[in-house]
Structure 1
Amino acid sequence: MRKVYLIGFMGCGKSVIGKRLSFATKMPFYDMDYEIVKKTGMTIPEIFESYGEERFRDMETEFLRTFRDESCIIATGGGVPMRKENREIMRKSGLVFYLNAPFRDIWRRISTDRNRPIVQQSTRADVEKLYNDRKPHYFNNAHFKVETERRTLREITDYMAFQVGRLKGDK
């Protein structure tokens, strides 16, 4: 196993848990959105405004195709598993964890975040519909579904680190 991919809806905890999992497994952590921002020199809202969502999605796919070949943890963007090519790349090159969080928790975290163009351009009902539309793609792509409700960050991280170690042969 080369890579560990964290998938799930925006605000489900991919970046926070990815950093903790990196510490626990001694594997480097990369946030896909941050890497795209760094490469383009533009914020996500600027990319959406200048090029549109479809071009941003192309950047995500390009990231998956070309990102360094090393064992690492990658927090993907919430829309990454919507593309068949992305799902195939992730499943072939690593282990995929779906962080399943209830919509009410997600909405609490993302509703005022100015760096989320989809949230800023949509109503709560629109975002909840998107959440429900994407959920089957997350479930069907993941090797592991991780329930985050009523679990501490430590419990979630420990479980994931155990699974990564087990599959690497460390445990």
Structure 2
Amino acid sequence: MNLLRHALSIALPIAQLVASPLAQAADFVVESPDIREGDTIDARFVSNGFGCKGGNRSPALAWHNPPAGTRSFAVTVHDPDAAGGKGWWHWVVVNIPVKAAFLDSGASSVAKAFPPGAVQTRNDFGRAGYAGPCPPVGTTHRYEFTVWALKVDKLKVDGNAGGALAAFMLRDQVIGQARITANYGR
């Protein structure tokens, strides 16, 4: 028993040293009354264009237990199955103040719904704001609704930045992520 205790006393500090910041953020959670992990996305949140006839409404998202050191948040919606495996950015919101803990349903289309300072960048459709799912006919894609906990107060991007640029900058500043992955096909 003493040998086991000794081994654990050495192994635990080493494991703590090599654990990534994302691993330490295991308690960080995102929830939504509008979308559920693994479920099909409701028509209210699907694009209204490109052959799709949805409501194009951004879903409500709420997050809890961000990792220590969080100074701001970002929210993204990404389709990893689109564009030949490179993915497609449907929504990117950056510079959400650390005191914020949710975005209401439909927030993307109501400027006053965002916390002061938050910025929607351009999605891969070329416009700022939310653009719902609309995969090619005969396919089902995954959509990752992610809240990013960041170690900076603000990213140096504005509403003209594209989703890929904003995501590149997010990856450099992230200390935790919480995600819901849902599906949509037609």
TM-score, length basis structure 2: 0.28
Higher helix share: 1
Task: Name which one, 1 or 2, has greater alpha-carbon Rg.
Answer: 2
Larger RCO of the pair (alpha carbons < 8 Å, separation 6+): 1
Higher strand share: 2
